[in-house]
A and B are shown apart, each in its own frame.
Chain A
């Protein structure tokens, strides 16, 4: 650890020049969506708190959620949720010892991407339908 070459040795894989792969992109995506969802978890407590507080406070938060930027954030949150959910289920299969074939890893990876997009779209359409 105290060799003079310690600080000049390249780190591998060098993330700046390493070609992104579905596997590596989904790996970091699981972490990023987890952090994004943490912010939404804080918002969940705020939402519950204003619901307990008063109709005025709740209406204010609802109007923020209803604004275009609020809607955009909600879609991003729902997409992050489905990404983390399906990515997490993929991880649980790995933890149980299944799906380690390279072909299976790519198939499950694309399934995560497609399922996240479709479920986000479906949620969006359903909420528009519910809003009437």
Chain B
């Protein structure tokens, strides 16, 4: 008993990132009671994130903590740093002016849940951290206190509730067959081919697919993105998704799905469908955030491909895609929130905007072509890497399904050109009157420029990210 306690206390050192987030969340909540000044919450939020980042340790071997409930490795550390980097900018978003302390409390809770998702190694822990992330997300969706938000939040909540209930049921089946909750010890022995067990696996994996918005679990995405405050969307579209994919990979690995061809093929086909549905869905959107939401669904399909690739390069491609995807989303949602704060949410409102906002228009073009995946942006670099690894995937397994995946992915790029360019198209090619439009301020332009330059920079100097990645022993998930 005492030694167990000692172990736990000893393990807590590894958990400093998570602990400081949890403590910080509570501090901010208290701060909200004491200080009424909104700036204080923002400062507090930044301070908590930076503190957590400071306490993050890199370069260690993989460890199992608290029994074997949590698994820590460098990939997790890298992605946690990425989470902080993604989230810290939201205080600069023009739509973030009026958030109370609860908002930042929820935001930190979501980051905490996602950070734990990177490490969760136990069926029950997985369920708990998914719920932690989800509940924070549900509440954030409602944070605009508008009718539309409630509708979207309710949709999100119902979908999320049902899928986590099914996942829990799946987890109970897995527990029943293996007799353990730990992913490390998952062994189904002779019953491996039982249909009921397969059902359990499918349900459990489905619960995670919901978080990463893979078809057919993506239905909540457009309306949720549309109704949620844009600064929250920037985080919501990146952090839980990346965490979910890492978790998905661990589960696929633990359940040995790479050997179960029907399940692997199903997930592969879902990935192809995700790219297809996301792209086709986006074509007809007229609302800026819904359009980008469908685009984000398509990006999930690309990320899923990297997760499914069963060798080392898949991890590299995944890390690359995750980092650049985060950068692009921060940039694009910043621009969206800039325009949103001036009342522009529909694509056709952008008509003729170049007369007032030529510079930001140029940045929008660059960020959009990065989302499409054209040079000279890092969006191209990640597509190139991913396609390279997918070629290798085909070379190593020879499965026509992998070729289909590659082909659909490539074709989707052509379609994505069509919808991502809608906004630049309206801005530059259409004529319109924006009499009420007030120009963006210098500071806003500077921030937007920084985000855009980051997106470009990784194209011209990709070895920088690669060096960081190489110093970290992330070769195993």
Q: Do A and B bind each other?
A: no
Which A residues contact B (CB, under 8 angstroms)?
Answer: none
